[in-house]
């Protein structure tokens, strides 16, 4: 790792610097996919899809974005129907390349999205956004279109926690502050300048993402950050200020599962992607996480099997056999 750092916490780009027209002049032969991973997001996915299509996918393909794809992770609500009615191409993660099996998690959805999208630039946008804007898309894509040395763009924003009464509490990003940032401070000081290492809004060159192993769960963001910095240098990571973002929050106890997945992905990369050795972590598929609730007889354990497996680089995956098409 060089001693360069990611712009020391400053964000090199601002979404307001780039209009769609300015980016269309830079688009050239690039093709662009927006991928929206969704699990039980019927309340918000429709507006996310509608606003992005309206602003960026002109009839006849004259817009900045060439496709908007929702990857549904076994939603138990009407997420898929709402997204489809809004105009998105919708795929169920488990139905994509069934010959490759099915894992459960956000990373699995993003990994499988590679087999049903074609853009050489890909922007990932969460489906649970509440306070956001379509400038998220132009802001994420701008650095990739204007600087060939950038491989990954991370969103930066204010992300307040909103309580049940709609009041702003402290800032969100609990796993960021309690897990990801401390781990980076210990093991990747060169990335200490990344303001939101886990932001769910990010953009990447397809070829780069296709060369990375992908954790099947919530470790996908920290893995992409570490692999990009290790593979292309910290200067290949750009940050764009998108202003403010609020989303549907997890309950506190479910963040423990997310923390295990983020730590597992980071630990596997502690010695650098190129080291090959998956330091610090044997090749595990599941980690038992034991949490506790008070019962009649005292504290009772609640154990959850947390998936920490990783999918191989999509570029290394064989084409589907004729039978599996």
Ligand X SMILES: O=C(O)[C@@H](COP(=O)(O)O)O[C@H]1O[C@H](CO)[C@@H](O)[C@H](O)[C@H]1O
State the residues that interact with ligand X by CB under 6 A.
106, 126, 159, 172-176, 198, 200, 218, 221, 249-250, 258
Q: Near ligand UDP by CB under 6 A, which window of 36-44, 138-146, 235-243, 298-306? A: 36-44
Give the one entry of ligand X, ligand UDP, none that residue 235 binds, where binding means its C-beta sits below a cut-off of 5 to 8 angstroms depending on kind. Answer: none
Looking up tokens 């781990």, which residue turns up? 183
Separation of alpha carbons 208 and 114, rounded Å: 12
Give the one entry of ligand X, ligand UDP, none that residue 111 binds, where binding means its C-beta sits below a cut-off of 5 to 8 angstroms depending on kind. Answer: none
Give the one entry of ligand X, ligand UDP, none that residue 37 binds, where binding means its C-beta sits below a cut-off of 5 to 8 angstroms depending on kind. Answer: ligand UDP
219 binds ligand UDP (CB under 6 A): no
Q: Near ligand UDP by CB under 6 A, which window of 20-28, 52-60, 242-250, 273-281? A: 242-250
Separation of alpha carbons 291 and 35, rounded Å: 33
Nearer Cβ to ligand UDP (41/66): 41
Q: What are the backbone dihedrals phi and psi of residue 83, each rounded to the nearest 5 degrees, phi first?
A: -65, -40
Q: How far is the CB of 274 from ligand UDP (least distance, A)?
A: 29
Spell out the alpha helix ranges (H) of 188-290. Answer: 206-209, 220-232, 255-267
Number of residues that bind ligand UDP (CB under 6 A): 16
Q: Where are the beta strands (DSSP E) in 108-254?
A: 121-124, 129-131, 152-158, 160-162, 168-171, 202-205, 214-215, 237-244, 246-247
193 binds ligand UDP (CB under 6 A): no
Nearer Cβ to ligand UDP (73/208): 73
* DSSP assignment of 48-109: HHHHHHHHH--GGG-SS-SEEEEEE-S-SSSHHHHHHHTT-EEEEGGGSSGGG----SHHHH
Q: How far is the CB of 207 from ligand UDP (least distance, A)?
A: 23
Contact track, ligand UDP, 59-98, x by CB under 6 A: --------------x-------------------------
Q: How far is the CB of 110 from ligand UDP (least distance, A)?
A: 8
Site for ligand UDP in 109-128 (CB under 6 A): 109, 126-128
SS3 content of the chain, % helix, strand, coil (to 5): 40, 25, 40
Give the one entry of ligand X, ligand UDP, none that residue 128 binds, where binding means its C-beta sits below a cut-off of 5 to 8 angstroms depending on kind. Answer: ligand UDP
Give the one entry of ligand UDP, ligand X, none that residue 172 binds, where binding means its C-beta sits below a cut-off of 5 to 8 angstroms depending on kind. Answer: ligand X
3-state secondary structure of 155: strand
In what helix (H) or strand (E) does residue 163 lie, and over which residues does it extend?
none
Give the one entry of ligand UDP, ligand X, none that residue 33 binds, where binding means its C-beta sits below a cut-off of 5 to 8 angstroms depending on kind. Answer: none
Q: How many C-beta atoms lie closer than 10 Å to residue 179's C-beta?
A: 22
Of 231, 233, 206, nearest to 7 by C-alpha is: 233
Nearer Cβ to ligand UDP (20/261): 261
Give the one entry of ligand X, ligand UDP, none that residue 139 binds, where binding means its C-beta sits below a cut-off of 5 to 8 angstroms depending on kind. Answer: none
Taking phi over 0 as left and psi of -120 to 50 as alpha, with beta for the rest, 96 belongs to: beta
In Å, how far from its chain's centre is CA 174?
A: 16
Q: Provide the binding-site residues for ligand UDP, judged by CB under 6 A.
A: 37-39, 41, 73, 104-106, 109, 126-128, 200, 247, 249-250
């Amino acid at each position: 790792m060089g001693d360069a750092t990611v712009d020391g916490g400053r964000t090199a780009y601002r979404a307001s610097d780039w209009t769609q027209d300015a980016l269309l002049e830079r688009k050239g032969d690039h093709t662009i996919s927006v991928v929206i991973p969704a699990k039980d997001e019927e309340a918000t996915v429709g507006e996310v899809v509608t606003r992005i299509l309206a602003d960026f996918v002109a009839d006849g393909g004259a817009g900045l974005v060439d496709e908007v794809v929702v990857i549904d992770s076994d939603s138990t609500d009407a997420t898929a129907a709402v997204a489809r009615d809004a105009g998105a191409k919708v795929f169920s993660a488990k139905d994509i390349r069934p010959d490759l099996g099915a894992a459960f998690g956000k990373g699995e959805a993003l990994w499988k999205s590679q087999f049903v999208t074609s853009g050489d630039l890909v922007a990932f946008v969460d489906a649970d956004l509440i306070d956001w804007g379509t400038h998220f898309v132009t802001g994420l894509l701008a650095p990739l279109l204007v600087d060939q040395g950038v491989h990954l763009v991370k969103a930066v924003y204010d992300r307040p926690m909103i309580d049940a009464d709609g009041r702003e509490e402290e800032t969100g990003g609990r796993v960021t502050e309690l897990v990801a940032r401390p781990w980076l401070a210990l093991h990747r000081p060169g990335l200490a300048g990344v303001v939101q290492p886990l932001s769910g809004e990010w953009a990447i060159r397809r070829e780069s993402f296709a060369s990375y192993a992908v954790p099947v769960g919530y470790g996908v963001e920290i893995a992409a950050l570490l692999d990009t910095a290790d593979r292309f240098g910290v200067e290949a990571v750009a940050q764009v200020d998108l202003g403010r973002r609020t989303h549907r929050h997890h309950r506190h106890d479910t963040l423990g599962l997310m923390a295990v997945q983020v730590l597992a992905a980071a630990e596997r990369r502690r010695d650098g992607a190129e080291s090959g050795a998956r330091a610090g972590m044997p090749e595990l598929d599941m980690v038992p996480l034991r949490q506790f609730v008070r019962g009649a007889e005292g504290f009772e354990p609640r154990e959850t099997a947390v998936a920490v497996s990783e999918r191989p680089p999509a570029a290394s995956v064989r084409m589907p056999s004729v039978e599996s098409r």
